[in-house]
Amino acid sequence: MWEERIKIWYADHKGMSRDEAEMEYLKIAQDLDMYGVNYFAINNKKETDLYLGVTALGLNIYEKDNKLTPKTTFPWSEIKHISFDDKKFVIKFVDKSANNFIFFSPKGMNKLILDLCIGNHDLYMRRRKPDTMEVQQMKAQAKEEKLRRQIERNKLAREKQLREAAERERAAMEQRLLQYQEEVRLANEALRRSEETAELLAEKGRVAEEEASLLAQKAADAERENARLRLSNIRTEEEKVHLERKTREAEFLTARLVEESEKRAAEAERLKAELVAARLAEKQAKEKLLNFLSRTSTGSLPPLNSYQLVPDDPDPHIHRLSLEIEKERVEYLAKSKHLQQQLDELRCEFSVLRVEQPGATLDRLHEAQARAGDDKYSTLRRLKQGSTKTRLAFYEEL
C-alpha cells in the first residue's frame, strides 16, 4: 500500500532536478528536532551522565534518556574559546564574568568534538558577516546561473510537453487514417458484393425470361388445343377431362409466370437500391480519405514524421528573470501547501496503523512535545532566555 502511495506522490514531482529534490528534502528534514545534531556522551563536575549536542546554532545539553529535547543551550555567539586537555574540555564565554563551561568526555572523542565545534563556530560567524564584493558577485552569478538552469529546464519541459502532444496528435491522425482506410475497404467490399449481386440478378432475369417464354409457349399451345377442341365439337367425356386439365395447366403457368415476374422485379429494385447505397458509401469514404491526406500534406495538420515546437526564447533579461522568480515562488508555495497536506495525511495514517514498540521512547517524547505545542525552534528560544551564567549554573546542577 505504501509503495503504491509513494509511486503516485513521486509522479507529482515529475521534472524536478536532483538538486531541487535534495533541497526540498532538507527543508523538511531541518525542522526535525534531531536534525544536524552530533551527540557525544559527557559528564559534568557532578559526574552526571549527559549528552553534548554539537549543532550549527550552538551547543546543547541533553539528559541521558532524552536526545530529543535539550535541557539548556549555549549559542555560538556566546562562546569565545574552546580547548581540551586529556578528557577535560574547557569552553570560555564572551561574558568574562561567567565561569568556564567544563565537561569530561572519553579521551578518544575530544579531537572530534573540537573539530566539530571549531567548524560550526566558524560557519556561524561567517554567515553573520557582510559578504565581500567578490562573494556578492559569486552569489549573483550563482543566482543567475540557477535562474538560467531553471529557464532551461522550463524550456525543456515545455518542449517535452509539445513533443508528447505532437506524438498524441500523430497517433490520433494515424488512427483516423486507419479508420478511413477501413471505411474505404468496407465500402469497396460492399460495392463489389452489390455488383456481384447485380450480375447474379441479371443472370436470374435472363433465366426468368427464358422460363417465361417457355411458359408463354405452353400457355399458347394449351389455348390453341382448347380452341381446336371447341371447334371440333367433341363432346366425349374423356376429351372434356383432357380439355379441362389443359386449361388448368395453362392458368397455373400463367399465374406462376406473373408471380415470378413480380418477385424478380422486387428483387431487382432492392439490389438496385443496395448498389446505389454502396457506391455512395464508397464515394464518401474516398472523399474523407482524400480530404485527410490533403490537409496533412498542405500543413494544416502537423506532418506524421515531425514535431511542431515553439521557437527558442530570446536571451533572458532582468525583467524576464524577475517574472521567472515570481512564478517560481508562487509554484513553490502551492507545492509546499500540497506537500504539507500530504505529509499531514501520512502522519494521521501512521498514527492509526503504527504498532507500539517497547523502545519507542523518542516517539512518545515527540508526541508529548507536540501536544504541548512545542517544536524545535520554540524550545531553543525558551532555553536561550536568561543570562549565560544562569544557564551554566543550571548545567552544573544537572
Contact call for residues 352 and 61 (beta carbons, < 8 A): no
| Structural domain count of the chain | 2
Helices (H), 232-302: 237-298
- Specify whether 113 is located in the same domain as 168: no
Which range among 4-13, 243-252, 262-271, 287-296 has the greatest average pLDDT? 4-13
Domain's final residue, options 248, 272, 298: 298
Whole-angstrom distance, CA of residue 72 vs CA of residue 74: 7
Domain of 69, CATH number, reads: 2.30.29.30
Could you give the percent of the chain with pLDDT greater than 70? Answer: 76
Residue range of the domain that includes 186: 151-298
Contact call for residues 44 and 395 (beta carbons, < 8 A): yes
- Specify whether 211 is located in the same domain as 241: yes
The residue among 362 and 298 whose pLDDT is bigger is 362
For residue 180, give the nearest of 281, 98, 83 by alpha carbon: 281
What is the torsion angle, in degrees rounded to the nearest 10, for the CA atoms of residue 235, residue 239, residue 242 and residue 247? Answer: -30
Sequence letter at residue 78: E
DSSP reduced 3-state for 29: helix
Domain's final residue, options 248, 273, 298: 298
Does residue 311 fall inside a structural domain? no
Whole-angstrom distance, CA of residue 192 vs CA of residue 189: 5
Contact call for residues 56 and 30 (beta carbons, < 8 A): no
Could you give the percent of the chain with pLDDT greater than 90? Answer: 14
Whole-angstrom distance, CA of residue 65 vs CA of residue 20: 36
For 77-189, strand residue ranges (E) read 79-85, 88-93, 101-104
Structure confidence at residue 76 as a pLDDT band (50, 70, 90)? very high
Does residue 134 fall inside a structural domain? no
Describe the crossing of helices 318-353 and 2-12 by its angle, rounded to 10 degrees. Answer: 170
